[in-house]
C-alpha cells in the first residue's frame, strides 16, 4: 500500500499529474482573468471619458428623428431648428456649406473631419433609427404615391361603407388603418363572392384599384427599374403593390435605387451634422494611459495567492483520489475485498461510496458466478449420469430398455432441455436479442387458463394488456409454479392502473427474509440452499421473469413477510 501510494505521488508530481495540470490550468485562468479585467477597466474608463467629452448627437435618437422628420416634411432645409443641448450643432451640405448653426457663425474650417451623422430620409442610419426598413428609406416618404385630397376622401368613404355594410370585421380593431400614402387598408377576402349590397361593388372596385396618381407613379417607377435592369443586361422585372399597398419587385436592388431616384425631389437634400464644443472648437480627445507596471505587480500578487490556495485545495483533492487509485489497483490484482474509507460527503465522498458499492457488487457477482457454475454442473450431472448409466447397461445387455425406462430417460432429457432453454432465454433477454411479438391480450382469459391448469390457483380481475402471449404465459407460469412450491393457495389478481396493468401473484407460504429480497431475481439463487432441482426448480425462473418483464417495458417487484407469504407485482403497458 505504501509503495503504491508513493508511486502515484510521483506520477502526480510529474508534469502529467493531476496536481500539475490543475495548477497550470488555475494559473492560466487567473492570468487571463487579470489581463482581461485590466483591459476591460481601461476600455470602460476611456469609453466613459470619451462619452463625457465626445459626440453626444450620435446617441441622441430624438435629435436625429427631429431632423429626419424635417427632411421628410420639407423639400429644403429652410426654417430648420437645431437644439444645442450644451453643444454646438452645425448642419452643412455634403460640400460643407453651412445650412444652420446653433452656436453662431464660426466657419466650417474648424469642424471635425468626420461628421457625426448624415441626415437623409432616403438613406436612414439604422443605428440611430433601428425601426427603419431594411432598404433604409423612411416609411413616411411616399412622393408621387401620396393620394390627392379628393382621392383620399373618396377612398375613406368607400372604406367606411365597405367595413360597415359590406364586410364587417375586415379591418383591424381601433378603426381603419392607413398606409403612408394615405390609402385606407381594408382586408378584402377574394375567396368569397363580392358583396352585392348598395354601393358595395363600387366600394370594392375603388379599394382594389390604383388611383390615377398611383398609376402614374407606378409607371414612372417601373421605367426606372427597367432602366436599372437594362444596365445589368437583365430582362424586365415586375413592379407591383403588395396587400399593404407597399411597392415590391423581384429585383430588390434595382427597386431601392429606382425609389431613391423617384423620391429624391420630394425630400430635403442630404445634410451633414457636426458636433463641436460650445465655443466652436472641435471636440478634444482625452488621453488615457494605463500603468502597466502597477497592473503587473497586482497581477503577480493575485497569481501567487491563487496558486497557493490552489495547491492546498488540489492536495486535499488528490489525496482521496490516490486512495481510490490504490484500491482499484488492489482489485485489479484480484483482491476483491479492497475498499476505500469514506471521509467526506462531497463529490469525492460519493465517488468513494460508489467505488465501495461497485466492489461489493463485483464480489457478489463473482460469488454468484462460482455458485452458478457449481449449480449448472450439479443440475447437469444427475440427468447426464442417469442417462449414461442406463445406456451403458443397455449396451452391456445388463438391462432391457422397456417402455418405462425409456420414459425415464426421456424425462431426464426434458430436464436438460428445460435447463438449456431457460439459460438461452435469459441470455437473449439480458442481451436485448429476445424477439417479442406483442399483441392485445385479454388478461382475464389468460388467468382462466392458468386456473384451469393449476387447481390451487385462485384468479380474479382482468384487463387488456399489450404483450407477447407466449412470453406472458411463461411469466405467469414461472411465478405460479414458484409460489406453489411454498404455499397451499396462490392468488393472482389483475387490475388496470392508469395506463398500465398490474398483476399480483401472492402465496401463503413461509415468506422470504428481508435481507434476501434483493437477491430473489439472481440466477440460481436460493434462500434455502438445501433446495434441490426436484423441490426448487432450476433456480432460473424468477431471473427469466424479470428479464421478460423488462423486455416488455414493464417492471416486477417483490415484498414478503416471514410466516405470512410472498407477493410478486408485475406492471405492464396497457392496451
Cβ burial, residue 416 (10 Å; 0-12/13-18/19+): middle
pLDDT recorded at residue 430 = 67
pLDDT recorded at residue 24 = 72
Residues 494, 288: Cα–Cα separation, whole Å: 83
417-424 contacts at long range (C-beta below 8 A, 24 or more positions apart): 418/538, 419/376, 419/379, 419/380, 419/538, 419/540, 422/538, 422/540, 422/541, 422/544, 423/376, 423/540
Residues 344, 305: Cα–Cα separation, whole Å: 26
- Write phi, then psi, for 120 (nearest 5 degrees): -155, 110
pLDDT recorded at residue 493 = 94
pTM: 0.42
Least confident of 71-80, 155-164, 260-269: 155-164
Which CATH topology does 436-573 take?
Answer: Heat Shock Protein 90 (3.30.565)
250 HSE (CA, 13 A, CB side) = 7
Over its C-alpha atoms, the chain yields an Rg (Å, rounded) of: 46
**Which of 169-173, 268-272, 365-369, 510-514 is predicted most confidently?**
268-272
6 pLDDT above the threshold of 50: no
In the chain, ranges of CATH 3.30.565.10 domains: 436-573
pLDDT recorded at residue 54 = 42
Residue 177 binned pLDDT confidence (cut-offs 50, 70, 90): confident
475 pLDDT above the threshold of 80: yes
Query: Tens of pLDDT along 189-225?
Result: 666 676 777 788 888 888 888 888 889 999 999 999 9
423 compared with 255, residue with greater pLDDT: 255
Least confident of 141-155, 512-526, 553-567: 512-526
Residues 146, 142: Cα–Cα separation, whole Å: 6
pLDDT recorded at residue 559 = 93
Greatest extent of the chain over all pairs of C-alpha atoms, in Å? 139
Query: Tens of pLDDT along 110-153?
Result: 778 888 889 999 999 888 888 888 889 999 999 999 999 888 99
Query: Tens of pLDDT along 13-62?
Result: 444 455 666 667 777 777 777 777 767 676 666 655 555 544 454 446 77
Q: What integer is the mean pLDDT of 215-243?
A: 90
Residues 574, 499: Cα–Cα separation, whole Å: 6
% of the chain residues with pLDDT over 90 = 17
481 pLDDT above the threshold of 70: yes
505 compared with 15, residue with greater pLDDT: 505
404 HSE (CA, 13 A, CB side) = 2
Which is nearest to 560 in space by CA: 508, 524, 498? 508
Average confidence score pLDDT of the chain: 79
In the chain, ranges of CATH 1.10.287.130 domains: 339-435
pLDDT recorded at residue 10 = 45
pLDDT recorded at residue 20 = 66
Domain with residues 339-435, CATH architecture: Orthogonal Bundle (1.10)
- Write phi, then psi, for 368 (nearest 5 degrees): -65, -35
Contacts of 506 (CB under 8 A, 6+ apart): 483, 490, 491, 493, 565, 566, 567, 568
Distance set, CA 152 to CA 187, 200, 201 (Å): 17, 18, 18
- Locate 267 and state its grid cell: 425630400
Residues 145, 247: Cα–Cα separation, whole Å: 10
Query: Tens of pLDDT along 266-296?
Result: 999 999 988 777 665 555 544 445 566 777 7
pLDDT recorded at residue 257 = 92
Least confident of 8-22, 534-548, 559-573: 8-22
Amino acid at each position: 500500500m505504501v509503495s503504491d501510494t508513493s508511486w502515484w505521488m510521483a506520477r502526480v508530481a510529474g508534469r502529467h499529474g493531476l496536481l500539475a495540470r490543475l495548477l497550470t490550468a488555475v494559473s492560466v485562468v487567473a492570468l487571463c482573468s487579470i489581463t482581461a479585467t485590466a483591459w476591460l477597466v481601461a476600455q470602460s474608463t476611456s469609453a466613459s471619458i470619451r462619452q463625457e467629452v465626445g459626440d453626444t448627437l450620435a446617441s441622441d435618437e430624438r435629435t436625429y428623428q427631429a431632423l429626419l422628420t424635417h427632411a421628410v416634411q420639407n423639400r429644403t432645409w429652410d426654417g430648420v431648428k437645431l437644439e444645442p443641448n450644451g453643444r454646438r450643432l452645425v448642419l452643412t451640405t455634403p460640400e460643407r456649406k453651412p445650412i444652420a448653426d446653433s452656436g453662431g457663425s464660426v466657419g466650417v474650417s474648424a469642424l471635425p473631419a468626420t461628421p457625426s451623422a448624415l441626415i437623409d430620409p432616403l438613406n436612414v442610419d439604422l443605428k440611430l433609427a433601428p425601426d427603419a426598413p431594411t432598404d433604409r428609406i423612411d416609411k413616411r416618404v411616399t412622393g408621387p404615391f401620396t393620394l390627392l385630397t379628393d382621392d383620399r376622401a373618396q377612398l375613406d368613404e368607400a372604406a367606411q361603407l365597405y367595413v360597415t355594410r359590406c364586410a364587417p370585421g375586415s379591418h383591424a380593431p381601433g378603426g381603419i388603418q392607413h398606409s403612408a400614402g394615405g390609402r385606407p387598408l381594408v382586408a378584402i377576402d377574394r375567396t368569397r363572392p363580392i358583396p352585392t349590397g348598395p354601393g358595395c361593388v363600387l366600394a370594392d372596385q375603388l379599394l382594389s384599384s390604383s388611383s390615377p396618381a398611383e398609376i402614374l407613379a407606378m409607371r414612372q417607377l417601373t421605367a426606372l427599374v427597367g432602366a436599372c435592369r437594362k444596365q445589368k443586361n437583365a430582362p424586365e422585372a415586375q413592379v407591383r403593390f403588395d396587400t399593404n399597398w407597399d411597392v415590391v419587385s423581384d429585383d430588390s436592388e434595382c427597386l431601392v435605387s429606382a425609389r431613391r431616384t423617384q423620391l429624391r425631389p420630394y425630400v430635403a437634400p442630404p445634410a451633414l451634422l457636426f458636433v463641436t464644443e460650445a465655443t466652436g472648437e472641435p471636440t478634444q480627445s482625452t488621453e488615457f494611459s494605463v500603468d502597466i507596471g502597477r497592473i503587473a505587480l497586482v497581477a503577480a500578487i493575485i497569481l501567487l495567492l491563487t496558486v497557493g490556495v490552489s495547491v492546498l485545495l488540489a492536495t486535499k483533492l488528490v489525496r482521496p483520489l490516490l486512495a481510490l487509485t490504490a484500491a482499484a489497483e488492489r482489485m485489479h490484482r484480484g483482491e476483491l475485498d479492497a475498499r476505500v474509507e469514506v471521509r467526506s460527503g462531497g463529490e469525492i465522498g460519493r465517488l468513494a461510496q460508489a467505488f465501495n458499492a461497485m466492489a461489493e457488487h463485483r464480489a457478489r457477482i463473482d460469488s454468484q458466478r462460482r455458485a452458478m457454475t457449481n449449480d449448472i454442473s450439479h443440475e447437469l450431472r444427475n440427468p447426464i449420469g442417469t442417462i449414461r448409466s442406463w445406456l451403458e447397461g443397455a449396451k452391456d445387455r445388463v438391462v432391457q430398455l422397456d417402455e418405462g425406462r425409456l420414459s425415464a430417460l426421456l424425462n431426464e432429457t426434458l430436464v436438460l432441455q428445460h435447463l438449456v432453454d431457460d439459460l438461452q432465454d435469459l441470455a437473449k433477454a439480458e442481451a436485448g436479442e429476445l424477439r417479442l411479438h406483442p399483441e392485445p391480450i385479454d388478461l382475464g382469459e389468460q388467468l382462466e387458463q392458468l386456473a384451469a391448469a393449476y387447481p390451487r390457483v385462485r384468479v380474479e380481475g382482468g384487463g387488456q394488456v399489450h404483450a407477447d402471449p407466449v412470453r406472458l404465459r411463461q411469466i405467469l407460469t414461472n411465478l405460479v409454479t414458484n409460489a406453489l412450491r411454498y404455499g397451499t393457495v396462490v392468488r393472482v389478481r389483475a387490475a388496470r392502473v392508469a395506463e398500465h396493468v398490474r398483476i399480483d401473484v401472492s402465496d401463503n407460504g413461509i415468506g422470504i427474509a428481508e435481507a434476501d429480497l434483493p437477491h430473489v431475481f439472481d440466477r440460481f439463487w436460493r434462500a434455502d440452499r438445501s433446495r434441490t432441482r426436484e423441490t426448487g426448480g432450476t433456480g432460473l425462473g424468477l431471473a427469466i421473469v424479470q428479464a421478460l418483464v423488462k423486455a416488455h417495458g414493464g417492471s416486477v417487484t417483490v415484498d414478503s413477510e416471514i410466516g405470512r407469504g410472498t407477493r410478486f407485482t408485475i406492471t405492464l403497458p396497457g392496451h
